[in-house]
Chain A
Amino acid sequence: MARFENNLWLHRFAVVTALATLGLIGIGGLVTSHGVGMAVPDWPTTYGYNMFFFPISEWVGGVFYEHTHRLWASTVGLLVVALTRWLGGNTSRRPLAVVGIAEIAAGMCVLALWPHFKGMGFFLTGIGGVVLLAAMVPVKNQPANRALVNLGWLAFVLVQLQGLLGGLRVVLFKDQIGIVHGMIAQLFLLLLCLIAFATSQTWKRLEEWKDVRVSKAVRSGLSISLVLIFLQLVLGATMRHQHAGLAVPDFPLAYGKVWPPLDDVSLERINQQRVDSRDFKPITAFQIVLHLAHRIGASATVVAVALAVWRVRREMNPIPWLARMASLWLCVILCQAALGAATVWSNKAADITTVHVIAGAISLVLAGVLLAVTLRLHVLHESGVPLVQRSALGKLSMPSQPASAV
């Protein structure tokens, strides 16, 4: 039976899955930046074809982005199912088989009873088949620790939920579903990165630094920054999925003022002058306020991250790589702020806007990983003994080993 500990290949596989997910977020960003989320009107088929056999000659205009997004998402789905199977070990085969059979049955029921939702029926049947195949893989590997197995199952649920939400957004015409789809994508990436990090040697080696004290100020600073970044991502997703283009076309001012007038006459004037080949919907006062809230939130986030990084570098300097990671995080945040400004100055150019989305996702991941590391160090420091036996958070760790063993 394959051992779980020190499984470098599992870690590499988790990293590949996380990177593929980051790529998927990037392609999703291209879809919304180009305004082509509805370019493929059917789901999970593509213009009536099985999506995997849609002729390349027809990948034109917005179809290229949307169809690529779907194919890439399918790949990520496969990777996550495999990761769940790998993390869960031999013991995951039975639950996977049960889930797979249940999804196939549910899919067939939907197809038989609600033809209007045949897309969902095909999706459930297809994904159920993949899950069932994963259950049938006859490798008898050992499971990871309980916490990692659970995180794997959470990723398993989220990837399927994401697939379903993405499809339903297309067939139900609901922008709100797109917003939730965009938000869960960010959390899903963070989850996969945490899994990748928790399967690394670096995570194990944290026990070497259990004497380092992590102050409450550091933990709070990182937590606040994480929440602020996520809120910024929520605001960003909300703005993107309203298909109204740039609510405020200038920066740093807003329509030449610190706070623009939002009365009906002013809005009418603004919308008369907005000319874009995509003929966005008229801007509303709410959208302008949302945009300005995103700017204010960006300022607050930069300050919060700078303070958090300063504290991490000051208090955690015995761990050089952690201090470097914190500095990298601050660099990403500053780049992200500059990208936000560039998004406005470029009239929301698709490439710049998409990089803005990707940098936002990386900011959240770095915040989450830094917070996870500091929380673990805190627990290690407080417990004074190997974490695995003591704390809830410690369940994320591998069975403790001497540093020399890794």
Chain B
Amino acid sequence: MKMKQHMLIVAALVGAVQIATAGDITGKITFKGAPAPEQELPLDPGCGKLHSTKPKTRFYVLGAGGELADVFVYIKDGLTGKTFEVPAAGAELDQRGCEYLPYVSGLQVKQKLSVKNSDPVLHNLHVSPGAGSGNKESNKAQMTGSKAMDYTFDSPEVFLKFKCDVHPWMFAYVGVLEHPFYAVTGKDGTFAIKNVPAGKYTVEAVHRKTHPSGKGESKEATVGAAGAKVDFVIEKK
């Protein structure tokens, strides 16, 4: 009994020291080159009346200086052997205006993802994992006003796709990882992976269109008390 108490104290101390020395990995991602032009979404009348202007595809969301949004940035290597508690708080995906919001997001394995339908039209929720990913494909109806549907995923998979076949322009990607160290770039191209334990890591930045094969750009980052800064420049091939 006493031994167990000692072990718990040691574990708590190690955790506290780690948090004390944890830092954020921050950075900015820019895109060089001319991206393919976006297309207007072919909305049907039911979805069209939910918009005052015609929305377009969101493949390349770029700032004035080439800052690239919707890049999934995560720690690819350096966490082997470590396990992380599944966050009690779930993530959320909304269907609003016949579009998924957010377009790209992250989730931890076994963490709950609630998908709701805020639209006055029905949708189907088609989870389309990649072949051999270990996650299960499913397709469920979600009528207008019905309650949110909850999902959890068993295997890590960058860019697990959600789509609606009723409205084929509707899709979103969720990056599922075994740890909580990921971020998605905003419109200014910046990202911040919070509270990363001190150590040396490989950070990968992957964008759905600039890296269609799923293999992104990798960089080394050494995290100390001040965190680490990693910028990426993605060039058009």
Q: A41-B141, A272-B210, A277-B57 are in contact. Are A60 and B166 (CB under 8 A)?
A: yes
Give Cα distance in the complex from A282 to B161, angstroms: 13
Count contacts on B: residues with CB < 8 A to the other chain: 35
Quick one: CB contact mask for B16-48 with A, threshold 8 Å, 1 for yes?
000000000000000000001111111010110
Give Cα distance in the complex from A107 to B223, angstroms: 62
Verify B140–A41 contact, CB threshold 8 A.
yes
Query: A residues bordering B, Cβ < 8 Å?
Result: 34-42, 47-48, 58, 60-63, 170, 173, 264-265, 267-269, 271-279, 282
Residue of A nearest to B56 (CB): A277
Choose from A264, A274, A276 the contact partner of B213 (Cβ within 8 Å).
A264
Choose from B39, B140, B163 the contact partner of A276 (Cβ within 8 Å).
B39
For B41, B44, B47, B167, the residue with the greatest tally of chain A CB atoms inside 10 Å of its CB is: B167
Choose from B40, B139, B169 the contact partner of A278 (Cβ within 8 Å).
B169
B231 in contact (CB, < 8 A): no
Stretch at the interface among B88-96, B105-113, B118-126, B195-203: B118-126
Interface residues of B in 166-186 (CB under 8 A from A): 166-169, 171
For A36, A276, A279, the residue with the greatest tally of chain B CB atoms inside 10 Å of its CB is: A279
B232 in contact (CB, < 8 A): no
Q: A41-B124, A272-B209 are in contact. Are A47 and B141 (CB under 8 A)?
A: yes
Q: A38-B124, A39-B165 are in contact. Are A60 and B171 (CB under 8 A)?
A: no
Residue numbers in A under 8 Å from B210 (CB-CB)? 272
Q: A39-B166, A268-B237 are in contact. Are A173 and B137 (CB under 8 A)?
A: yes
Give Cα distance in the complex from A58 to B209, angstroms: 33
Instruction: Give me 23 A-to-B residue pairs in the complex whose CB atoms sit less than 8 angstroms apart, sorted by A's number.
Output: A39-B165, A41-B141, A47-B122, A47-B141, A60-B44, A60-B46, A62-B166, A63-B166, A267-B212, A268-B213, A272-B210, A273-B36, A274-B212, A275-B39, A276-B39, A277-B41, A277-B42, A277-B57, A277-B168, A277-B169, A278-B168, A279-B163, A279-B169
Residue numbers in B under 8 Å from A279 (CB-CB)? 57, 59, 163, 169, 171
Minimum CB–CB distance from A242 to chain B (whole Å) comes to 12
Verify A38–B57 contact, CB threshold 8 A.
no
Residue of A nearest to B57 (CB): A277
Residue numbers in B under 8 Å from A275 (CB-CB)? 36-39, 57, 59, 209
Verify A47–B44 contact, CB threshold 8 A.
no
Other A-B pairs beyond A265-B237, A271-B212, A277-B57, 11, CB < 8 Å: A35-B168, A38-B139, A41-B139, A42-B141, A48-B141, A60-B122, A63-B122, A275-B36, A275-B209, A277-B168, A279-B57
Query: B residues bordering A, Cβ < 8 Å?
Result: 36-42, 44, 46-47, 57, 59, 121-122, 124, 126, 137, 139-141, 143, 163, 165-169, 171, 209-213, 236-237
Give Cα distance in the complex from A61 to B236, angstroms: 35
Give Cα distance in the complex from A126 to B24, angstroms: 61
Residue numbers in A under 8 Å from B41 (CB-CB)? 277
Give Cα distance in the complex from A405 to B169, angstroms: 61
Minimum CB–CB distance from A253 to chain B (whole Å) comes to 19
Verify A173–B139 contact, CB threshold 8 A.
yes
Residue of B nearest to A40 (CB): B124
Choose from B47, B137, B165, B212 the contact partner of A36 (Cβ within 8 Å).
B165
Minimum CB–CB distance from B142 to chain A (whole Å) comes to 9
Residue of B nearest to A269 (CB): B237
CB-CB nearest 3 A-B residue pairs: A271-B212, A41-B139, A282-B212
Give Cα distance in the complex from A63 to B166, angstroms: 6
Residue numbers in A under 8 Å from B121 (CB-CB)? 60-61
Residue numbers in A under 8 Å from B57 (CB-CB)? 275-277, 279
Give Cα distance in the complex from A47 to B166, angstroms: 12
Minimum CB–CB distance from B59 to chain A (whole Å) comes to 6
Residue of A nearest to B167 (CB): A61
Verify B122–A58 contact, CB threshold 8 A.
yes
Q: A275-B38, A277-B42 are in contact. Are A268 and B165 (CB under 8 A)?
A: no
Minimum CB–CB distance from A401 to chain B (whole Å) comes to 54
